[in-house]
Amino acid sequence: MHSDIVISQTDGRPMYLQIMEQIKQRIAVGEWAIGEEIPSIRQLAVALRVSVITIKRAYLELEREGVIVTQQGKGSIVAPNARLTPRLYDEELAEHLEQVVRLGKLLGLTPAELAVRLQVATDEFAAGRLTKEKV
């Protein structure tokens, strides 16, 4: 049931971040329903063959973000008010934008030049979509 969470050794990000992201995706698509109990830290650790402390870290961060709620002595559930989809993608976008700005600076691009590049990329993406749909 949880073994479909995949931890990549070549993904540069720490394991707890990979786990957080996949849990959020699971919640976003409704596989883990709002208010539903989620596996205990130990259960998930055993299922994923990942240390307890890593899962604990992932759960703590998810709690801080309001995605899950941990009840003392009981377990964790998906937060009743977890409005996940917009926030999840929003965060991801913010992360990527930060990278764009950083790389832009490295290349010595002005904000205006960066904006042009974004427009070009958007157009290319749209074009790519169209050709794919045709095939």
Partner 1 sequence: MNELAVHFEGVNKRYAHFTLNDISLDLPTGSIMGFIGANGAGKSTTIRILMGLVRQDAGSVRVLGHAMPAEQTSAKMDIGFVSEDMRLYGAATLGWHMEFIRSIFPKWDAPYATDLLRRFDLKAEQKIKGLSHGQRVKAALLLALARRPKLLVLDEPTTGLDPVARREVLGELMAVLADEDRTILFSSHNTLDVEQISDQITFIDRGRIIDSADKEIFLDRWRRLRLALPPDAALPHIPGVVEIGGSGRLPVVTTKSFEPGMVYACNDSGATVQAIDTMTLEEIFVANVQSRRQEQIA
> Does 13 help bind partner 1 (rule: CB under 8 A)?
yes
The secondary structure of 5-42 as a DSSP string is ----SSSSS-HHHHHHHHHHHHHHTTSS-TT-B---HH
> Does 22 help bind partner 1 (rule: CB under 8 A)?
no
Between 28 and 50, name the residue whose CB sits nearer to partner 1. 50
The distance of closest approach from Cβ of residue 35 to partner 1 in the complex, given in angstroms and rounded to an integer, is 26
E strand residue ranges, 10-114: 68-71, 75-78
Query: Shortest CA distance to 58 belongs to which of 76, 81, 36, 31?
Result: 76
User: What residues between 40 and 59 interact with partner 1 by CB under 8 A?
Assistant: 42-43, 45-46, 49-54, 57
Residues lying near partner 1 in the complex (CB under 8 A): 9, 12-16, 42-43, 45-46, 49-54, 57, 102, 105-106
